[in-house]
Amino acid sequence: MAKLQFGNSFCQIEGTYVPVADMNLAPEDSIYFAHHVLLWKDPQVNITTMSLKGAWKRLLSGMPLVMTQAQGPGHIAFSRDAPGEMIAMPLQPGQAVDVREHLFLVATANVAYDWFQSGIWYNTRNGNETETHYPLGMFMDRFYAPTAPGLLLLHSAGNAFVRYLEPNQTILVKPTALLFKDPMVQMQLHFEHPAGTWSSWRSWGNRYLWLRLYGPGRVAVQSAYSEMHDNGLTITRHSGATEQRWG
């Protein structure tokens, strides 16, 4: 059990299998979150829809996500309704972090929110039909503290592990295992396949698809990542990538 203070409010992280963030909000403090992670609240806690730039429209399992804000006083609690770890990330003024979509849980009001296109994609073709795939998701979330310290909570499926990459040092991770990264860490696809196979290097069937990340900066991964679907189709185009054949 961990107890954290932000402003005049407190956050207590409880549970080891499906963790819960139980917050005691002071009257002057507020937080924001995606509506589906709300677990319970005191009746006096005021909840309103949070407006976001650019006609923000995001989906989770085909349903629209709604960003919501809560104002104290009172208790309010959040859970991702899944086993794993709850990651508490204090952000100092000027600090930012990039988070893979749908892993955000809750943030304090002095943490600013933005989003950007991940830029990680590839196309496959079936007859005359072309499909675009986003192994990392189409978007990534960016959270940053402009002028005052803030608190960001994320949910990691399974356990979370953090690596610090030196300048130009790289690491290969499964795209769906990425949890967060520092903004200066760059990304691109990486294709690997066994040597001696007869198929084209663009054939998915004999390939492993990775996300290559370049330092400097932190990279966090989650151990219980979701599997990527192999449709067995030929890759016709892709974002920037490296390639390696096994010798």
Closest CA to 122 of 228, 44, 50, 194: 228
pLDDT recorded at residue 63: 46
- Examine the pLDDT at 236 and tell me if it is beyond 70: yes
The helix or strand, by DSSP H or E, that contains position 48, with its residue range, turns out to be strand 46-49
User: Could you tell me which residues come within 8 angstroms of residue 181 by beta carbon, excluding any fewer than 6 positions away?
Assistant: 97, 98, 187, 213, 217, 218, 219, 220
- Confidence class for position 1, pLDDT limits 50, 70, 90: low
32-83 residue pLDDT tens: 998 889 999 999 999 998 876 544 455 444 445 678 999 999 999 999 988 9
**In the prediction, which pLDDT does 204 show?**
47
Percent of the chain's residues with pLDDT above 70: 87
CATH class of 2-245: alpha beta
Report how far residue 128's alpha carbon sits from residue 172's, in angstroms, rounded to the nearest whole number: 33
Residue 202 has pLDDT above 50, yes or no: no
Mean pLDDT of the chain: 88
**What pLDDT is stored for residue 136 in this prediction?**
92
Residue 130 CA to residue 115 CA, distance in Å, equals: 26
What per-residue confidence (pLDDT) applies to 237? 92
Exposure string of 222-244, with b = 16+ CB inside 10 Å and e = fewer, is beebeeeeeeebebeebbeeeee
pLDDT computed for residue 66 by the predictor: 77
Q: Do 247 and 195 contact (CB within 8 A), yes or no?
A: yes
With beta carbons less than 8 A apart as the criterion, state whether 234 and 206 touch.
no
**What pTM does this model have?**
0.88
pLDDT of residue 27: 96
State the average pLDDT over residues 100-122: 93
Q: Return the higher-pLDDT residue of 246 and 144.
A: 144
> Which residues contact residue 35 at a Cβ distance below 8 angstroms, ignoring those fewer than 6 apart?
65, 66, 67, 68
Distance CA 64, CA 12 (A): 29
Task: Give me the residue spans of the domains in the chain.
Answer: 2-245
Calculate what percentage of the chain has a pLDDT beyond 90: 67
pLDDT digits (tens, 9 = 90+) for 141-185: 999 999 999 999 999 999 999 999 999 999 999 999 999 999 999
